[in-house]
Amino acid sequence: MISKIFNFTIVIFLLGTFQAYAGNHPTHDDIKNINTTITKGVYPYGKKEGKPKVFIEGIWLDFDYMRRHLPYIDFVNDPAVADIHIIINNRISGSGGQVYSIRYNNNTFENFTEYTLSCTTASSDTYEERRGKIVNTITLGLMPFANETEVAGNLSIRYRGEQNEIKPIVTDDPWHNWTFRGTFNGDIYMEESRKNFNYSYNLRADKVTEDWRIRNSGQMSVRTKEYEDDGEIYRSENTSSYISSSVVNSLSSRWSAGAFFGYSNSNYSNLIYSISAKPAVEYNIFPWDISDRKVFTIAYYIGPEWKKYYEETIYGKFQEGLWEQTLRLDLQIVQTWGEIEAGLDASNYLHDFSKNRITFDSDLSVRIVRGFSVNFNLRVENIHDQIYLAKGDVSLEDILLNKVQLPSTFEVRAGVGVRLQFGSIYNNIVNNRL
C-alpha cells in the first residue's frame, strides 16, 4: 500500500511539473514521452491486471495514430466495459486555433475523481502537429490510471526541456489579439442542357480577450442556374450578402452584455437592404469555465431595423423602419451517455405582436444500451413575420427556378439515425493495407 501511494505521488508530482512548464497546454517540444520497454517489469502488490481499457469519443480523431502512440492501453468500442471514458470537445480560440478539452471519466478505479485537461493548438499548426499535441495531452491524463495497472512497470518518463529554470517569456503582440481570415469557395456543374455556377467569399476580423469579444464578418454568395429547352434559355441568379459586427463584454462569470449590428441583402427575399442595431444581455445558468461540458444561456435582444425592398410588399411597403425583440434559450450538455444541443428562439415586431416567429432546433445523441445509440435532429419554425414578401402572383417559372421565397407559416426539418455495433470490444490493431 505504501509503495502504491508513493508511486501515485511521484506521478502526480511529475504531472504538476509538466503542466507548470507547459502553461497547462502541453506542446510537441515540452511534453514528456511515454516509452514502453521490451523487458517485462515486476508488478507491485495490488496492481490491476492488464492494460487500462479506454473508450474515447468526441471530435473527429485519428485513431490509427492513437493506437500507434498509446500502446500501453486497450482501446475498446463500448463505454460500458471501459475503465476510463474520455470525452474530447473543442472550441475556437481568439487567435483562430483550437482549445481541446479532454475529460477523463473514471469507471472502475478507486479513489479517482473525474478531471479535465486542456490542449491548445495554433491556427497555423499542421495536421501532424495538432494530432501530436492531442495525443500527448491524453497521455499525461492517463498516467495516474496506468500507474495503478501492470503496465506501470513497463513505462518510463523522460523530460526533454532545459535543466535550468524556465522563465516566462513576455511576448509583444503587434496585432493586439486581432485575427483576420478570408475564404473563397466556388463550384461548377455542367450538362448539355443544364448549368450551375456558385461562388461565395467570407471575411472575418475578430478580437478575443478574457473580458471582451469583438467580431466582424462579411459574406457574399451568388448562385446561378441555367436551363435550355428547345433553344430557349431560362436563367436564375440568387445573390445575397451580409455584414455583421458585435461587441460583447464579460460582466461576470455568468453575465454578458453587448451590441449587435447587421446589414443584409437578398433578391431571393426581396430585400435591397436590411439594417439592424440591437443591444443584448445574456445570462448563463452555469459558469463559463465549464462551457465545454454544459451551457444553458438566456439572451435578450431588442433594437430597430430599417428595410428597403426591390418590389412592393404584400403590406404595400417599399421601405419601412421597425423595432424587433428576440428571446433566445440555448442548452448544451455533454455526458458519457450522449449529447444534447437545443435552442428556442422567439422574436416579434413591436408594432404588431402577430408578426412573430418561433424556432426550435435540437440535436440529440443518446446511447441506449451497449452497442446501440440513436441520433435525432429536429428544427421546427412557426412563421408569421414574412413582411418582405413581394406583392402579386408568382409565376411557375420563378417557382421552378427558385427565384423567390414563397409564403409559408411553418418549416420542419427532421432526421433520425441509429448505430448498432457488436462483436469484439477490443480493437488495438492498425492495418491500412488494401
Q: Which residue has the cell 482501446?
A: 75
Q: Give the pLDDT confidence score for residue 19 in this predicted structure.
A: 42
Instruction: Please tell me the predicted confidence (pLDDT) of residue 2.
Output: 43
User: Do 124 and 19 have their domain in common?
Assistant: yes
**pLDDT value at 289 more than 80:** no
Question: What 3-state DSSP class applies to 372?
Answer: strand
| The three cell numbers locating residue 57 | 469519443
Look up cell 495554433; give the residue: 122
- By DSSP bridging, strand 232-250 and strand 255-266 are antiparallel
Sheet holding 53-58, edge to edge: 74-75, 53-58, 84-92, 98-106, 115-121
Confidence of residue 22 (pLDDT cuts 50, 70, 90): very low
Range of the domain at 135: 2-158
Which of these three, 123, 158, 193, is where a domain ends?
158
Whether residues 152 and 259 share a domain: the answer is no
Model pLDDT for residues 385-433, shown as the tens digit of each residue? 999 999 888 887 777 777 888 889 999 999 998 877 666 555 555 555 5
Count of residues making up the chain: 434
Q: What is the CATH number of the domain that holds 325?
A: 2.40.160
pLDDT digit string, tens, across residues 338-364: 788 899 999 999 999 999 999 999 988
What span, in angstroms and rounded, lies between the C-alpha atoms of 132 and 26?
A: 10
Residue 130 has phi, psi (to 5 degrees) of -65, -50
Which of these three, 158, 188, 212, is where a domain ends?
158
pTM for this structure?
0.64
Q: Which of 298, 281, 409, 392 is nearest to 345 (CA)?
A: 298
Q: Is residue 49 part of a domain?
A: yes
List, in sequence order, the alpha helices (H) in 102-203.
127-146
Number of domains making up the chain: 2
- DSSP letters along 85-127, please? EEEEEEEE-TTS-EEEEEEEEESS-TT---EEEEEEE-TT--H
Closest CA to 122 of 150, 100, 149, 148: 100
Asked if 260 and 153 sit in the same domain, the reply is: no
- Which of 107, 130, 158 terminates a domain? The answer is 158
Task: Look at residue 175 and tell me if it is in a domain.
Answer: no
Whether the CB-CB separation of 101 and 115 falls below 8 Å is answered with no
- Asked which of 42-46, 120-124, 139-143, 287-291 is least confident by mean pLDDT, the reply is 42-46
